[in-house]
Chains A and B, each alone.
Chain A
Amino acid sequence: QVQLKESGPGLVQPSQTLSLTCTVSGFSLTSYHVSWVRQPPGKGLEWMGVIWTGGSTAYNSLLKSRLSISRDISKSQVFLKMNSLQTEDTATYYCARGHGGYLLYWGQGVMVTVSS
């Protein structure tokens, strides 16, 4: 069955770079696109970016200068890197598989706290 699982550090220091991995199973990254979505505590969802089936990417214009999404097809992994982290980047980070345009399958999320 389709599964996505995020992994990464729970704590990142301000100004540092966040690196997250989304490991997927049950589908190929060449057949479905994967997005990253984040949610600050008690707040709403924010789409961050997407890696399309062909490997091209698109980013939220508000995060574009700090964000990079890549993948390793052989390992079924999608990577997120975001630099210059601030406290307002504290959030639960989700990866989700697209189906057409909507997001059908979601990972469980990983909580990232930005603090010194």
Chain B
Amino acid sequence: DIQMTQSPASLSASLGETVTIECRASEDIYNGLAWYQQKPGKSPQLLIYNANSLHTGVPSRFSGSGSGTQYSLKINSLQSEDVASYFCQQYYDYYTFGAGTKLELK
């Protein structure tokens, strides 16, 4: 099974700051990676698919990058509505989620 290691587990940042969350796969997942945002009490929402494709309606301050085993999610100019948990998910070989990153405002 493919393992996903996500870091950091938690993150505190100021409004307007740029934040980066990373995921490392235990083997090459050939860009089969998605990022989800989950707010408390809500279902996860797709942000990025295929490692770097922005889902329809997602603000352009979100971006994904990476290849092979290393991937990242970047949020430019952090907004208050971005406070949430973020999860990566590989779908190259069935599915595996990262452990998640809880993003808070400083």
Spell out A's residues near B (CB within 8 Å). 35, 37, 44-47, 50, 58, 60-61, 94, 99-104, 106-109
The distance from the CB of A71 to the nearest CB of chain B, in whole angstroms, is: 18
The distance from the CB of A44 to the nearest CB of chain B, in whole angstroms, is: 4
23 residue pairs of the A-B complex, CB under 8 angstroms, read A35-B95, A44-B97, A44-B98, A44-B100, A45-B38, A45-B44, A45-B97, A47-B94, A47-B95, A60-B94, A61-B1, A100-B50, A101-B49, A101-B95, A102-B49, A103-B34, A103-B44, A106-B43, A106-B44, A106-B45, A107-B43, A108-B43, A109-B43
B interface, how many residues as a size bin? 20 to 34
| CB-based nearest B residue for A35 | B95
> Does the CB pair A101–B97 fall under 8 Å?
no
> Does the CB pair A102–B100 fall under 8 Å?
no
For the complex, what is the distance from the CA of A61 to the CA of B11, rounded to whole Å?
Answer: 31
> Does the CB pair B96–A47 fall under 8 Å?
yes
Spell out B's residues near A (CB within 8 Å). 1, 32, 34, 36, 38, 43-46, 49-50, 55, 87, 89, 91-92, 94-100
> Does the CB pair B32–A47 fall under 8 Å?
no
Interface centre among A37, A44, A61, A102 (most CB of B within 10 A): A102
**Selected contact of A44 from candidates B32, B50, B55, B99, CB within 8 Å:** B99
For the complex, what is the distance from the CA of A46 to the CA of B43, rounded to whole Å?
Answer: 13
A-chain residues with CB within 8 Å of residue B36 when the two chains form the complex = 45, 103
| CB-based nearest A residue for B93 | A101
> Does the CB pair B97–A46 fall under 8 Å?
yes
> Does the CB pair B46–A102 fall under 8 Å?
yes
For the complex, what is the distance from the CA of A106 to the CA of B55, rounded to whole Å?
Answer: 15
